[in-house]
């Protein structure tokens, strides 16, 4: 059997590619094999970023700008495409770091060790892993350490007209002195600079040394062609501080029904399902029946959230009832003498499906509080999607 030598790689000045020659990139291949299993893709809505498992495998480190603004849970996907759900646990808005925690007491077996970026010397090899441009695979970008210093020196000296940098400067002039102070702290915070190429989607991924230790967390690269070969990252010192110190923010979650969490979207979806089934009972109903059948197979194979309480039991019961009756209705709609029963099946299926929308089932972030000063009601810096970082 032929050896599979595909290595997803990003070289300076090139698009993400796959190296298939087994004799090339030996060092990168070694790092990829060691670090790749602990590197993840993080998604919510249209946002895609990267991260990595630490500690006992229940926590993932990433950038704050990857998770900013999201009120639901995050999807965490590993290199072998296993998925978890996670909630926000810690956030450092000045150093652009966040820790998310897996739901349901889950743990991933592969984790990374946090190293010491102060021991990295100029020219030492560094490797950034993540999902450039939101790619399906985990990629590795080989490069080298350049320097470490205050953000306004290591970045602004390279690309002072970058849009994100101008956002920081504008925020530092905010009339609210507390917001301005936070933005000033961002500008003066320490960053690692590396000569390697990262892309949007790499944010939050590990930047490791030759021993596979995390010495920085990829933050962003320059938008300009001239400086695109450089990457800036958050120091491992700040990662350790976030993991070991008390949280700056408290994040409170609660279960909500779909109709409460997404009133407009849920209403439109329900109306659409009823409309399609009523207008095209055989074709539309059959399509919904096929979807229901696929969902039943998924439920039967255990690919669903574990049941933890009575609300989950009610939700799961409604889901099974909707799937069974919709599937049965779809089958009966093609048999003339059974079409009245098909209508009954559709009606029960749609009613129970809509009923799911009223059961508290979806975990949502409902409150953010500063632990040091609960009276300070400001959200984290750049929480509301200014194209920060």
According to the model, what pLDDT value does residue 384 have?
65
Evaluate whether 102 touches 85 at the Cβ level (below 8 Å).
Answer: yes
Q: Which helix (H) or strand (E) holds 25?
A: none
Q: State the pTM of this model.
A: 0.89
pLDDT over 70 at 129, yes or no? yes
Query: Rounded to whole angstroms, how far apart are CA atoms 64 and 89?
Result: 11
pLDDT over 50 at 382, yes or no? yes
According to the model, what pLDDT value does residue 386 have?
44
For 130-145, write each residue's pLDDT tens digit.
999 999 899 999 999 9
For 173-220, write each residue's pLDDT tens digit.
999 898 899 999 999 999 999 999 999 999 999 999 999 999 999 998
For 259-309, write each residue's pLDDT tens digit.
998 899 999 888 888 888 888 777 887 888 899 989 989 888 877 778 888
Q: Which two tokens stand for residue 119?
A: 């021991």
pLDDT over 50 at 313, yes or no? yes
Q: Which two tokens stand for residue 44?
A: 């919510």
Cα-flanking dihedrals φ and ψ of residue 9, to 5°? -140, 150
Q: For residue 387, what pLDDT band results from cuts at 50, 70 and 90? A: very low
Looking at residues 369-373, what average pLDDT do you find? 88
Query: Rounded to whole angstroms, how far apart are CA atoms 252 and 250?
Result: 6
pLDDT over 60 at 94, yes or no? yes
- Dihedral, CA atoms, 346, 349, 355, 357, nearest 10 degrees? -100
pLDDT over 60 at 1, yes or no? no
Looking at residues 222-226, what average pLDDT do you find? 80
Alpha-carbon Rg for the chain in angstroms: 24
According to the model, what pLDDT value does residue 3 have?
67
Evaluate whether 121 touches 175 at the Cβ level (below 8 Å).
Answer: no
Q: CA nearest 115: which of 86, 153, 145? A: 145
pLDDT over 50 at 119, yes or no? yes
Q: For residue 167, what pLDDT band results from cuts at 50, 70 and 90? A: confident
Q: Which two tokens stand for residue 322?
A: 């909707």
According to the model, what pLDDT value does residue 64 have?
95
Looking at residues 104-113, what average pLDDT do you find? 95
Query: Rounded to whole angstroms, how far apart are CA atoms 330 and 340?
Result: 12
Looking at residues 343-370, what average pLDDT do you find? 92
In the chain, % of residues over pLDDT 90: 65
According to the model, what pLDDT value does residue 38 have?
98
- The β-bridge relationship of strands 17-19 and 39-44 is unpaired
Looking at residues 316-343, what average pLDDT do you find? 91
pLDDT over 80 at 372, yes or no? yes
Query: Rounded to whole angstroms, how far apart are CA atoms 75 and 31?
Result: 25
How do the domains of the chain map onto residue ranges? 7-244, 258-360
Per the DSSP assignment, residues forming a β-bridge with 193 are: 147, 232
According to the model, what pLDDT value does residue 378 have?
85
Q: What is the mean pLDDT of the chain?
A: 91
pLDDT over 50 at 388, yes or no? no
| Residue 197: burial class (beta carbons within 10 Å; 0-12, 13-18, 19+) | buried
CATH number of 7-244: 2.40.10.120
pLDDT greater at residue 79 or residue 300? 79
According to the model, what pLDDT value does residue 389 have?
30
Q: Which two tokens stand for residue 273?
A: 């399902």
Query: Rounded to whole angstroms, how far apart are CA atoms 9 and 15?
Result: 9
Neighbours of 1 (CB within 10 A): 3
| Residue 303: burial class (beta carbons within 10 Å; 0-12, 13-18, 19+) | exposed
According to the model, what pLDDT value does residue 200 have?
92
Looking at residues 69-90, what average pLDDT do you find? 95
């Amino acid at each position: 059997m032929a050896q599979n030598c595909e290595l997803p790689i990003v070289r300076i000045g090139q698009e993400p590619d796959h190296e298939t020659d087994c004799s090339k990139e030996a060092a990168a291949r070694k790092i990829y094999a060691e670090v790749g299993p602990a590197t993840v893709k993080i998604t919510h809505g249209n946002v895609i970023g990267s991260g990595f498992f630490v500690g006992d495998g229940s926590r993932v480190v990433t950038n704050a700008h990857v998770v900013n603004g999201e009120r639901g849970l995050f999807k965490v996907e590993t290199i072998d495409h296993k998925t978890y759900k996670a909630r926000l646990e810690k956030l450092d808005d000045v150093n652009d770091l966040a820790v998310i925690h897996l739901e349901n007491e889950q743990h991933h077996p592969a984790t990374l060790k946090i190293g010491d970026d102060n021991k990295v010397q100029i020219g030492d090899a560094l490797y950034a892993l993540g999902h450039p441009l939101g790619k399906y695979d985990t990629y590795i970008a080989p490069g080298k350490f350049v320097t470490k210093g205050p953000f306004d020196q290591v970045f602004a000296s390279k690309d002072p007209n970058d849009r994100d940098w101008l956002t920081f400067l504008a925020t530092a002039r905010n009339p609210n002195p507390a917001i301005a102070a936070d933005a000033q702290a961002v500008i003066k915070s320490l960053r690692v600079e590396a000569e390697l190429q990262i892309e949007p989607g790499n944010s939050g991924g590990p930047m490791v040394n030759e021993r596979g230790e995390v010495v920085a967390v990829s933050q962003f690269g320059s938008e300009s062609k001239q400086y695109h070969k450089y990457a800036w990252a958050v120091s491992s010192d700040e990662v350790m501080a976030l993991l070991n110190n008390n949280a700056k923010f408290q994040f409170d979650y609660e279960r909500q029904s779909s109709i409460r969490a997404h009133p407009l979207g849920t209403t439109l979806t329900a109306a659409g399902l009823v409309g399609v089934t009523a207008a095209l009972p055989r074709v539309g109903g059959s399509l919904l029946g096929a979807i229901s059948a696929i969902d039943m197979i998924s439920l039967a194979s255990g690919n669903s959230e574990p049941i933890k309480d009575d609300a989950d039991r009610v939700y799961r019961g409604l889901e099974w009832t909707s799937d069974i009756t919709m599937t049965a209705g779809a089958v009966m709609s093609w048999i003339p003498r059974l079409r009245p029963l098909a209508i009954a099946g559709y009606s029960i299926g749609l009613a129970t499906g809509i009923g799911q929308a009223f059961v508290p089932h979806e975990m949502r972030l409902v409150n953010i509080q500063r632990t040091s000063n609960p009276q300070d009601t400001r959200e984290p810096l750049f929480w509301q999607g200014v194209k920060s970082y």
